[in-house]
Structure 1
Amino acid sequence: MTPAVPAPPMAPMPPAVHVTPTIRSAASASAAANASTGRSGPDRWTRITPSMSPKTRPVRSAASSPVSAPPASTADRLRAAGAVLRPVDLTPFTRAAAMLYEGAFVAERYTAVGAFVDGGSPDLDPTVAAVIGAARDIPAHQLFADLDRLAALRTAAVAALGDADALLLPTAPGHPSLADVAADPPGANARLGRFTNSTNLFGLCAVAVPAGEVAGLPFGVMLVGPTGTDERLPRIADLLTPPAHLAVVGAHLTGEPLNLQLLAVGARLVRTTTTAAAYRLHALATTPPKPGLVRADTGGAAVETEIWELPAEGLGVLAAALPHPMALGRVDLADGTAATGFLCEPYAVHGATDITEHGGWRAYRAAASAAGGSHRPRHHPTEL
């Protein structure tokens, strides 16, 4: 049998989240609706329930308190979307997770490939062979004892979750190095599965999503949901996706003809700024009129820019509809930051009027209007 891996120490339980009266009232109404269908409380985690968009009622989420907790920004995004978070004791989850390799369930793997492992193939990973080979001698009575223990742990876990829609957990508790894994392969892998192993054993579903970085390394979280909520859970996970930011310099500016495209995908104006002094702006002969922003090797200048915040999927919608020769790329800003923005392929500005001296598209349009339309862009062969 694989030796037991000591669990890392647990951090203190986080404070309960205080909800606003509005959310509390809505949650109470939702609980009453669930009760009328016979799916209130812990029973939600054992029955197959119909999928439901999180926008139809407040999302209730249980937050864990392990040594590697989800970043605060993750919880903040859920709260901003109207979720109510409360702490949960993970003891039944982590004890069940340990049973995956420390108990009799590993015998299932021996049933599947034990004969092959016993054949001593040189292609077998020695750690995998040792884990599966050790399951050969697990007695049948231990399996039934473990099934009883697992059922008790599941009952405790479901009771702890109550009427929560999902459990928020780190996908993994840390970032083991190759040296860490080489020094203790079973232990390193067991620790990585500390928060995931119980999901299948309990018959629950889960979805993992990126959650930024911790100490400069990528970090992810997962949402564990009741049985049968596989379709609904990703919709809750969408609430964790950070918004995108888009830099616009032309026809998508506030008041310009294509600004409606931003509003249609749920974008909102964050601020007005300028690019870094490294760009040239050209008036393209398009319908509607728009400029082309190109990064310059030399002689660049700052160009008026609006920064818009929008859902990540909204950025995908805009990218899919972007006409040639426009493109999305990195736009460096005056404050040293950068954002994804509308750029123009360099070939398309050949022969186009350079309007950089005006400092931006709106200033150029105002000057052209004041001059009675004399500032007309020279035609180039590409029409948008």
Structure 2
Amino acid sequence: MASTFGYTLQDWQRQAQQAPQQLSQRLAAHLDAIDKQDNAWLYLATPAQLEAQLEPLLADYLRHPAALPLFGVPFAVKDNIDVAGWPTTAACPALTYTAAADAWVVAQLKAAGAIVIGKTNLDQYATGLVGTRSPYGAVSNTFNPAYVSGGSSSGSASVLARGLVGFSLGTDTAGSGRVPAGFNNIVGLKPTKGWFSASGVVPACRLNDTISVFALTVEDAFAVATAAGGYDAGDAYSRQHPQNVPARFHAQPTFAIPAAAQFFADRQAEAAWLQALAQLEAAGATLCPIDFTPFHQLAEQLYSGPWVAERTVAVGEMINRPEEMDPVVYGIVSSGLKYSATEAYQAEYLRADLTRQIQQTLAQFDALVVPTSPTIHTLAEMQQEPVRYNSQFGTYTNFTNLADLSALALPGPFRADGLPAGITLIAPAWHDRALADFGMRWQQQLALPLGATGKPQPAQHAALPPSPDHVRVAVVGAHLTGMPLNAQLTSRKAVLVEETQTARHYRLFALTEGAIKKPGLLRDASGAAITVELWDIPLARFGEFVAEIPAPLGIGSLTLADGRIVKGFICEPAALTQALEITEFGGWRNWLATQGSK
């Protein structure tokens, strides 16, 4: 049987589609081929545990394949996330317990057909960005074993980068879902807090924790996130999507960047960052340097102030058993004991103030772009300066969850020494889809090999699947780009998707009464194809947009030339008896051009 190492999500999905009855054999062979001495793994599934997951799914898949979009895709789970019947350790042997139930996110992914094949190593209690603070050993970098893998989701990043799974789950409080992605040339999706339930996760900082996704491609990461996310009434910090954010960035986005990026004298990291900026500009982005002071100030709060006391709360009574904890982790976590409730409230007031400054700054741009990490260190160097170097890794990550932002770590131009050096896009909460849309284009532009597999970047779909949080609307006249009423779309964060045509059974009319000429579209078998623009409007803003549409116009369903059905402008037939038919022009702009004005 051919090797399945290095498969993307789509590769695994194709295998399932072609031979679903052989999937059990294929997964068993895949698991058997994994090195059992690899310390990126803390636990691997037994054949019985593998079969117990797959057997009930097979019959469902054969009946209704579309209901199981991740059928047969093997994935790994960071060992601070529960898998029913499996041990959870958070890399602290004294904590070990057998999980009674799947974490909510794991249950969602299993329900979509994915198969857990193992649990992975981490910095103990998810405290660290290095991948070295584990009693099970440091996880090494997948490109050069002398260097760190990044943490705390070290094992999940390592097994994914080497193509041992279709995707993997990490967690991210201070950057644990992003730094390992940057160090291993993979994608790290850090979702908006509350999109993924934290039920069944050993907390690090409950207010700022989120499960994260590692994948070889952005398309894979977002597909997994879509399956994993959702509202969980059992998690007090779970949130509903507000459906009021843009579906994507502008075609030529404007990105903020740090005005004076820090690299701690790492010239190779700085050179890789400058190459990334050049690539962004080549993609049509405008880069605007900003004062990064509030971001740095907020980043410092996570470990250098009362916020560290949240980690103290998370470890519970283990704080009284220092001999059973990693000494560096204990030193960090125990420092929370010295802060008072008064200081904690003062820290929250400061967080809120800095967050407001950050969000007001980001509101001026499509997103912020930063180096995922300003530097990297060897395993030997980390032993000499475990706290200082860990802090350096968090320079561009620590503030993100404190400020309630979404983030996507992406592969970037490599350093001169052959090590990866990624970039991260950061945007306000719930901009995850917009980040992914740009991230897909970025990966296609750079065309880097996938992770550490050496396999080429596959051809990806032109766009993400349709969004349930947006309404796609076809506009035909005064709402077109540059037309008088286009602001009714852009002011509601609607974004242009494409220009296309209707099916060949529409007639176009000009309603010339009033200050602004408006079109009227009528479905008629004797019609023609009419040029339209498609716009995605946030669902929560759609109602107010429709409310502004005056009679005799309205919104109905429109059929496009390729068979898609979208919402679009229609007109009451009675109002067209006195209107001017302009179907022969094929579109509003063409007719306007003959009128000499708009």
TM-score by length of 2: 0.32
Structure with max Cα Rg: 1
Structure number with the bigger relative contact order (C-alpha 8 A, sep ≥ 6) is 1
